[in-house]
Amino acid sequence: MTYLRRALKYFIQISLLLAAILAVLMGTGMVSKDIAVAFQHGWTSVWWILAAFAAMSLAYPFFGYQKRKIQLAGDPAEYKEGIVEALKIRGYVLESDRDGVLSFHLSSPLNRAARMWEDRVTLTPVLGGFEAEGLSRDLVRVISAVEHHFRNYGND
């Protein structure tokens, strides 16, 4: 269900972006307001574009979200304060802590809206560290922030 919800959100976001661009172009007179003139095949082209957006939207959650490992030796409970501090610097706030599973989201409402409220990063304790799960581009920042924090400050 999460997969389909994410795909639908991306489809809506991409479609609204196209509509906004077309509105600006048509409003400034750069493109004809008649769809039959603006697109070579008229409404048929619009439906093909929407079908392409649907295909991209269905593929994006598969590639855009992943799990990655953070290597930390010792008891994961010892790292909680340091992780919360490291992610706070990167703009994340602790959303929940259930049985050692830490869930974070972005603190900025603007950044959350830009990611369509799909900004959650979850850190699950596993043997040898944590497993981070979330948006691929955010995981790189999260993992580097945590590793940098513990490399520079030790196990504080």
CATH code: domain of residue 123: 3.30.310
How far is residue 13's CA from residue 95's CA, in Å, rounded to a whole number?
25
> Within this chain, do residues 34 and 94 fall inside the same structural domain, yes or no?
no
pTM metric for this prediction: 0.71
State residue 153's pLDDT score: 63
DSSP bridge pairs for 77: none
What tens digit of pLDDT does each residue of 52-87 get?
A: 999 999 998 888 889 999 888 878 778 888 899 999
Range of the domain at 134: 72-153
> Within this chain, do residues 95 and 144 fall inside the same structural domain, yes or no?
yes
How far is residue 17's CA from residue 44's CA, in Å, rounded to a whole number?
19
What tens digit of pLDDT does each residue of 105-129 get?
A: 999 999 888 888 888 999 999 888 8
Q: Considering the chain, what is the average pLDDT of its residues?
A: 88
> Within this chain, do residues 40 and 93 fall inside the same structural domain, yes or no?
no
> Within this chain, do residues 92 and 124 fall inside the same structural domain, yes or no?
yes
State residue 154's pLDDT score: 56
> Within this chain, do residues 90 and 149 fall inside the same structural domain, yes or no?
yes
Count how many domains the chain has: 2
- Phi/psi of residue 20, each to 5°? -65, -45
